[in-house]
Structure 1
Amino acid sequence: MTAGLLTLTALSGTAFAQSVNLTFLTTTGADDLAIAEELVSRFEAANPDINIDIETRPGGSEGDNLVKTRLATQTMADVFLYNSGSLFQAINPAQFLVDLTNEPWQANVQNSFKQVVTAPDGTVRGAPIGAAMGGGIYYNKPIYEELGLSVPKTWDEFMANNEKIKAAGKVAVAQTYGDTWTSQLFVLADYYNVSAKDPSFASRYTANEAKFATEPAALRGFEKLQAVYEAGYLNEDFGAAKYEDGARMVASGEAAHYPMLTFATTAIATNYPDLIDNVGFFAQPGDDAALNGLTVWMPAGLYIPQTSPNVEAAKKFVAFVASIEGCDAQTAAVGASGPYLVNGCTLPDDVPPAVSDLLPYFGEGGQNGPALEFLSPVKGPALEQITVEVGSGIRSAADGAALYDEDVRKQAQQLGLPGW
């Protein structure tokens, strides 16, 4: 009889262990879904007592509204993927999300990511999922080799390289204002240089205490746009060329440089596989080589709602995602597009040079920091039109920065931010 009871108890324990079911909400994007499926497959294999069902949501504003509604109505999945940075702040993380500050795996998450999933009360509420993107400048390696150029760490060095490239009869900098969003890079990718000189800029900017037009470090991005135009370094069709043209030009050697986010590496590898090894990448140079670093567009975060009935199991899954094994699963799912923000995670040896060029900025002693849009909710909608004007010689850097400050004021008032 005793043996029978023990057997029944053991079977009941097994049945109970098998009964933990989690839901994981991700987006309908092909990469996000592929990553979710690979992570769940590997996690379930290592944790047979936990089953995970994947749910999907749309992206954009429709997805934002759905996330906010499900949090407010206490119907959110046990684990969900959502933006980091200012959109993360907009979902009231201290009210709705589980505090993950003291989880052991946080010791391996890079601080640059932690700051974009930190609630107003100072607690860390998320884990990274996906790879980081850099904002900076692609360059054509054969042109650099032909002309004996070195990767610049200051703006003066970059402009000296451009002058040598122009003297050799080549296009120094491709710009693609036919897609107006691409005109913003020299301003947005310069933010690491701003924060290196003024770590308080983001908070003062959000509080209406700092302006692009009146802060010399912030004005520099607009000045850089003006400088490359006035020096005659651009392709003749810069006003009509589009993003795809810029990617082609830097890959083929039609241009030596193209300022862009590193997601373009995937497009170059897909469209010009024979040329991908010709393309390198470096952070947008500032004015001090000792402060050289990379402006980073942070990956999304993984979060647990406080309403989850399975918080401990959900924490176990999040810990897996924020581990070396989790990084490897993501690489297996979609390939290597950039560095992970988890210490110890590595990429395959055969990644494109533009990806491997990113890694030193994230390694031991590397310098990286979030783009301003991850630290402040204030980003005026007219920036891309203003940067086209400055980058085309229509408006001066100073006038462009002042106009953008006015654009920002309207947006901040719409958001109801204090001090505006």
Structure 2
Amino acid sequence: MRMIAAKILTASIASLLAGAAHADVTLTILADTNPESVAFFDALTKAYAEKRPDITFDIESRPGGSEGDNMVKTRLATGEMADIFQYNSGSLFQALKPQQTLADLSGLSNAGHIQESFKAVVTAPDGSLRGAPFGPAMGGGIFYNRKIYADLGLEVPKTWSEFIANSEKIKAAGKVAIAQTYGDTWTSQLFVLADFYNVNAVVPNFAKDYTENRAKYATTPAAAKGFEHLEQTGKAGFFNADFGAAKFDDGMRMVATGEAAHYPMLTFGIGNVAQNFAANLPDLGFFAQPGDDAAKNGLTIWMPSALYVPADAENLEEAKTFLDWMISKEACELMAKTVPSGPYLIKDCQLPANIPQAVSDMLPYFETDGRTAPALEFLSPVKGPALEQITVEVGTGIRSAADAAALYDQDVEKQAKQLGLPNW
């Protein structure tokens, strides 16, 4: 009888443990409001729930820019972060002190599927993997309206002077040459940030010297040009009249529908047009921000954002299990099908056959050696928090390009000291 009772007790415990392993769990997620992110999470959570009916999701939106940065840092510091959160990779990731605040994902069964180029931007100082790629790699450059270009007989510019000449012809034709959207202050940074391929082509050691406090924006002519480009285009009257209040959604609408000819932006904007102005998607083109030399024309690229799990997450193991599926080929190709807006950084993940024109415009840069360079924030942990406010001042004519470059050099000094970097 004792043996039978023991077997019954053992079976009961095993049953309880099995039930506990698949008890109903609600995973909380904090994500940005970009339509592309919304579409991804909708597709991914539905697919995962079919595999795991015991899992439900509660997705909360956060703002972009510095407001969103502050929310992420505050919630991590106070232990109030969601089970999973979406945030930048690269320098902003390092500022989260990942060894202390984020769960180690190195042991996930699918971790080997992540391309090494992405692992490098979500690896903590101790060498551990702390994030999973979310979405495609992006180009930073200039969207353009293909109909306007065709109507005015314009060609895609390979140099900055050609871009200015095109913009002057567009303005002369009575059209908005360049959409700007300072109602979302983060969008004001693109002329500076997307110019890094050109900086790197002229000063290959800039990122290293910048990190070691041996190079500055204000004293490196190639680096200062991004601020000068913004000042030049603002003074030329190329912007839309409401550029101070317009927002990202407005910018994408304007360039897609022909209200504006250009919009400097990251290529994740393709997803916005696909969702909101699908009929205009064939009219949306893209090119890299031109530099001074047509022979050195290339694209500044951004790694995708990442999904992270706080070290003290309420549902730590279930969150890590979800991220393990997220980095599978199956989940990656589901994302690629949902938003085919660029190359994905999961090995063997294929884009669908039919991709938007703007993606077709971007891919040749990735397919040719030497025609892409990572944005500075993926080569250096130094990035000042006030850049978007500084670039708004330049674009609106409040501050000169030279003053802005010097002010940004002061801004990054605070960040470098906070990170404890040597030589600062």
TM-score for the superposition, normalised by structure 2:
0.75
Residues 29-55 of structure 1, C-alpha deviation per residue, up to 9 Å, x if partnerless?
Answer: 67667745643553465579xx54545
Distance in 1 (CA, whole Å) between partners of 2:257 and 2:41 is 35
Summarize the alignment of residues 374-389 of structure 1 with structure 2, pairs less than 5 Å apart: 375-381=380-386, 383-389=387-393
Distance in 1 (CA, whole Å) between partners of 2:45 and 2:57 is 8
CA apart distance, 1:355: 4.1
SS in 1 for 2:121: helix
Instruction: Find out whether 1:262 has 2:267 as its counterpart.
Output: yes
| Aligned residue in 2 for 1:65 | 74
Distance in 1 (CA, whole Å) between partners of 2:413 and 2:307 is 29
Residues 154-178 of structure 1, C-alpha deviation per residue, up to 9 Å, x if partnerless?
Answer: 3344334445545666543334456
Summarize the alignment of residues 153-192 of structure 1 with structure 2, pairs less than 5 Å apart: 153-162=158-167, 164-165=169-170, 170-177=175-182, 180-192=185-197
| Aligned residue in 2 for 1:324 | 329
| Aligned residue in 1 for 2:298 | 292
Instruction: Find out whether 1:345 has 2:328 as its counterpart.
Output: no
Residues 273-306 of structure 1, C-alpha deviation per residue, up to 9 Å, x if partnerless?
Answer: 4433212122222344446123326322344749
Instruction: Find out whether 1:401 has 2:402 as its counterpart.
Output: no
Distance 1:238 1:52, change over 3 A: closer
| Aligned residue in 2 for 1:27 | 30
- Which of these residues, 357, 362, 371, is aligned with residue 361 of structure 2? 357
Q: Is the 8 A contact 2:27 2:315 kept in 1?
A: no
What count of residue pairs does the alignment treat as equivalent? 410
CA apart distance, 1:208: 3.1
Distance 1:87 1:107, change over 3 A: same
Give the stretch that moved more between structures: 134-143 or 242-251.
242-251
CA apart distance, 1:26: 1.3
Distance 1:176 1:198, change over 3 A: same
Distance 1:197 1:39, change over 3 A: same
Residues 188-242 of structure 1, C-alpha deviation per residue, up to 9 Å, x if partnerless?
Answer: 2222333455555445434433211112331121122234346x36147376562
Summarize the alignment of residues 97-136 of structure 1 with structure 2, pairs less than 5 Å apart: 97=102, 99-100=104-105, 105-136=110-141
| Aligned residue in 2 for 1:94 | 99
Distance in 1 (CA, whole Å) between partners of 2:99 and 2:214 is 26
RMSD: 4.5
Distance in 2 (CA, whole Å) between partners of 1:123 and 1:158 is 43
Distance in 1 (CA, whole Å) between partners of 2:268 and 2:75 is 26
SS in 2 for 1:294: strand
Instruction: Find out whether 1:223 has 2:232 as its counterpart.
Output: no
Consecutive unaligned residues of structure 1, counting only runs of 5 or more, are none
Distance 1:344 1:286, change over 3 A: farther
CA apart distance, 1:321: 0.8
SS in 2 for 1:211: coil
Residues 289-340 of structure 1, C-alpha deviation per residue, up to 9 Å, x if partnerless?
Answer: 44612332632234474999986x76654332112211244467x6455543
SS in 1 for 2:129: coil
SS in 2 for 1:275: helix
Distance 1:164 1:354, change over 3 A: same
Q: Counterpart of 2:29 in structure 1: which amino acid? A: T
Q: Is the 8 A contact 1:205 1:211 kept in 2?
A: yes
Distance 1:245 1:261, change over 3 A: same
Q: Is the 8 A contact 2:29 2:82 kept in 1?
A: no
Distance 1:250 1:88, change over 3 A: closer
Distance in 2 (CA, whole Å) between partners of 1:307 and 1:29 is 19
Q: Counterpart of 1:237 in structure 2: which amino acid? A: A
Distance in 1 (CA, whole Å) between partners of 2:253 and 2:196 is 26
Q: Is the 8 A contact 2:336 2:344 kept in 1?
A: no
Residues 234-286 of structure 1, C-alpha deviation per residue, up to 9 Å, x if partnerless?
Answer: 14737656235544442343432121233444444555444332121222223
Which consecutive aligned stretches of 4+ in structure 1 deviate over 6 angstroms post-superposition?
5-15, 306-310
Residues 4-40 of structure 1, C-alpha deviation per residue, up to 9 Å, x if partnerless?
Answer: x999999987875564347744116676677456435
Q: Counterpart of 1:27 in structure 2: which amino acid? A: L
SS in 2 for 1:217: helix
| Aligned residue in 2 for 1:276 | 281
Give the stretch that moved more between structures: 115-124 or 298-307.
298-307
Distance in 2 (CA, whole Å) between partners of 1:134 and 1:223 is 21
Q: Is the 8 A contact 1:27 1:33 kept in 2?
A: no
Distance in 2 (CA, whole Å) between partners of 1:144 and 1:296 is 26
Give the stretch that moved more between structures: 210-219 or 170-179.
170-179
SS in 1 for 2:231: helix
Distance 1:185 1:92, change over 3 A: closer
% identical aligned pairs? 50
CA apart distance, 1:385: 4.5
| Aligned residue in 1 for 2:65 | none
Q: Counterpart of 2:30 in structure 1: which amino acid? A: T
| Aligned residue in 2 for 1:150 | 155
CA apart distance, 1:390: 3.6
Q: Counterpart of 1:345 in structure 2: which amino acid? A: C
Give the stretch that moved more between structures: 278-287 or 352-361.
352-361
| Aligned residue in 2 for 1:211 | 216
Distance in 2 (CA, whole Å) between partners of 1:66 and 1:154 is 44
